[in-house]
Amino acid sequence: QFPFGRRLPCDIYWHGVSFHDNDIFSGQVNKFPGMTEMVRKITLSRAVRTMQDLFPLEYNFYPRSWILPEEFPLFVDEVRMMKDSDPAWKPTFIVKPDGGCQGDGIYLIKDPSDIRLTGSIQSRPAVVQEYICKPLLVDKLKFDIRLYVLLKSLEPLEIYIAKDGLSRFCTEPYQEPTLKNLHQVFMHLTNYSLNIHSGNFIHSDNVNTGSKRTFSSILCRLSSRGADVKKLWSDIISLVIKTIIALTPELKVYYQSDIPAGKPGPTCFQILGFDILLMKNLKPMLLEVNANPSMRIEHEQELSPGVFENVPSPVDEEVKVAVIRDTLRLVDPQKKKRKDVHNCIMFHRDSLLRAVSAFCIMWGMKDKQHKHHSLKLSLKLKFYLKLGSCQTLEEASEAKEEAREAGAGDGGERGGSRSPEAALPSLCLKQVFPKYARQFSYLRLVDRVAALFIRFLGVKGTTKLGPTGFRTFIRNCKLSNSNFSMASVDILYIDITRRWNSMGIDHKESGMCLQAFVEAFFCLAQKKYKSLPLHEQVASLIDFCEYHLAALDEKRLVCGRG
């Protein structure tokens, strides 16, 4: 541990809170810049809302939410309208302070007028959300799921999901919310930090019982009741991928600001905690994303009144140790080095194989013999190539180790040696992206809008677009015409930027933030392609802009050459 930083560079930095815990210039760090900000309740709700505007059906896994204080009038109006159109609708809402955690400050209400507006709401912004009244119950108790997700890389996008997670149980039998039980947190909130204080909390050594269990034990029970567990997993995977797709545009803006492209810098990965609630019909709903999920594998036990001791928690251990172990295996810098060497050797091996093939054909060898000889020769070449390029004994012995794994080099041809990885249990983290990329790529529209935004940011290190950058964007993409003058462009910029900046999100920099740019972009798309649905309007405008920018780049290239 280096609380005051460290002079010698590391392969992997494990930060406790955020990317900025220490200044680092190389290696890999376990946090992305901007992630903590992105998963705050308000920012997450905004990012998901943008996607809901574009793809309402695909993003119906997040409860309808309003941001307080600015959307309070909208909240009141929309609830009134919904009640008018369906008098049988008796909703409950949950109010969650922004930036809160562990159930802190959360309360349930039946009517918008019950919001505690007195003073605190102004000083503490919040999200108010439709409360899911019919959750799936196990043993008559409400529970939620904590799933661990590894975001291994942002560009290209790589996502892994842990095969097992935790189920955290309430400690009072669930009843649908009524005015009488609204305040009973042990019935409605599944937070471990709250329920641990209930007299009913059960610490269990068994992963199948108690107030904290493995998710796999719940799946087993559901499966024995005849539930379609495969479908449930596939819905959960799609919820995770879609949520990350909603977060990536802004994360990329933060990333280029802290780690400008083309300059040496660290790369990032991050373990995220997804909190998911299952509805009675088994539909998974996203509650929130945690940038710093607890990795504790022990809990406090009161030995005698006031005397506490940390004791191991088998359920936490079973799930969390595998997540950390597999994360380290996936980001292993030695593995990356081996892969680079392997790619280089494969190039030489291919040339050799071609030569051996020609040689064998010349001498009329039988196919089987030919294959055997060419393989043996290529493995030997791989071994000698690596050995020849080694600077130190350590590298040489590593090369021998590799050759042995591949079945070449000293005694390698005898076979039978196992890679060090083979001794470890199989990976609990399963890749879901790019594995399922094809099914989801059509959703990545805002990512492309963010790429345009980043191009026009100009000065590296900023996250906001100035008026000149916005004008250049309009001009280069040929968006201004007789119906849309440059004066109207300036008005659009000022109107939208002022409104977003008045919401008090980030006063450190002046200018247009990504969300404001996205709003302006949607406005332009609606203007230009009136009759289409929103996502098609936006896709058409992106194509239009990308086309003009590609033409411009080509022109500049030709001029440059000239």
Interaction site with ligand ADP (CB under 6 A)? 63, 94, 96, 100-104, 106, 129, 131-132, 144, 189-191, 275, 277, 287-288
Distance CA 348, CA 370 (A): 18
| CA–centroid distance for 304 within its chain | 42
The residues facing 129 across adjacent strands are: 65, 94
Interhelix angle 486-502/467-476, rounded to 10 degrees, is 130
Residue 463 carries which DSSP code? -
Closer to ligand ADP by Cβ: residue 129 or 171: 129
DSSP codes joined into one string, 78-94? HHHHHHHH-TT----EE
Q: How far is the CB of 436 from ligand ADP (least distance, A)?
A: 26
Residue 413 carries which DSSP code? G
Closer to ligand ADP by Cβ: residue 39 or 474: 39
Strand pairing category for 307-312 and 141-153: unpaired
Closer to ligand ADP by Cβ: residue 193 or 488: 193
Q: How far is the CB of 129 from ligand ADP (least distance, A)?
A: 5
Q: How far is the CB of 393 from ligand ADP (least distance, A)?
A: 52
Structure tokens that stand for 104 in this block: 């802190």
Closer to ligand ADP by Cβ: residue 131 or 440: 131
Closer to ligand ADP by Cβ: residue 268 or 286: 286
Q: How far is the CB of 39 from ligand ADP (least distance, A)?
A: 10
* CA-based max dimension of the chain: 92
Closer to ligand ADP by Cβ: residue 277 or 452: 277
What's phi and psi for 166, nearest 5 deg? -115, 150
Q: How far is the CB of 159 from ligand ADP (least distance, A)?
A: 21
Closer to ligand ADP by Cβ: residue 294 or 334: 294
Three-class secondary structure of residue 309 per DSSP? strand
Closer to ligand ADP by Cβ: residue 111 or 155: 111
Closer to ligand ADP by Cβ: residue 135 or 469: 135
Mention every residue, 6+ apart, whose C-beta is less than 8 A from residue 540: 525, 528, 529, 532
For 334-343, which contacts have Cβ atoms below 8 Å and span 24 or more sequence positions? 338/402, 341/386, 341/402
Q: How far is the CB of 177 from ligand ADP (least distance, A)?
A: 9
Full strand arrangement of the beta sheet holding 12-13: 12-13, 28-29, 267-268
Closer to ligand ADP by Cβ: residue 63 or 112: 63
Q: Residue 310, Cβ neighbours under 10 Å: how many?
A: 11
Q: How far is the CB of 105 from ligand ADP (least distance, A)?
A: 8
Closer to ligand ADP by Cβ: residue 189 or 479: 189
Distance CA 187, CA 307 (A): 28
* Residue 210 backbone zone (phi > 0: left; psi -120 to 50: alpha; other: beta): left
Please classify residue 139 by burial: count the beta carbons closer than 10 Å to its beta carbon, then call 0-12 exposed, 13-18 middle and 19+ buried. Answer: exposed
Mention every residue, 6+ apart, whose C-beta is less than 8 A from residue 46: 67, 515
Structure tokens that stand for 335 in this block: 């593995």
Strand pairing category for 12-13 and 28-29: parallel
Distance CA 32, CA 272 (A): 11
Q: How far is the CB of 109 from ligand ADP (least distance, A)?
A: 12
Q: How far is the CB of 102 from ligand ADP (least distance, A)?
A: 5
Q: How far is the CB of 94 from ligand ADP (least distance, A)?
A: 5
The H or E element that residue 271 is part of is strand 270-278
Degrees (nearest 5) of the Cα angle 14, 16, 21?
85
Closer to ligand ADP by Cβ: residue 49 or 96: 96
Considering only CA atoms, give the Rg of the chain.
28
Distance CA 346, CA 325 (A): 29
Q: How far is the CB of 147 from ligand ADP (least distance, A)?
A: 13
Q: How far is the CB of 93 from ligand ADP (least distance, A)?
A: 8
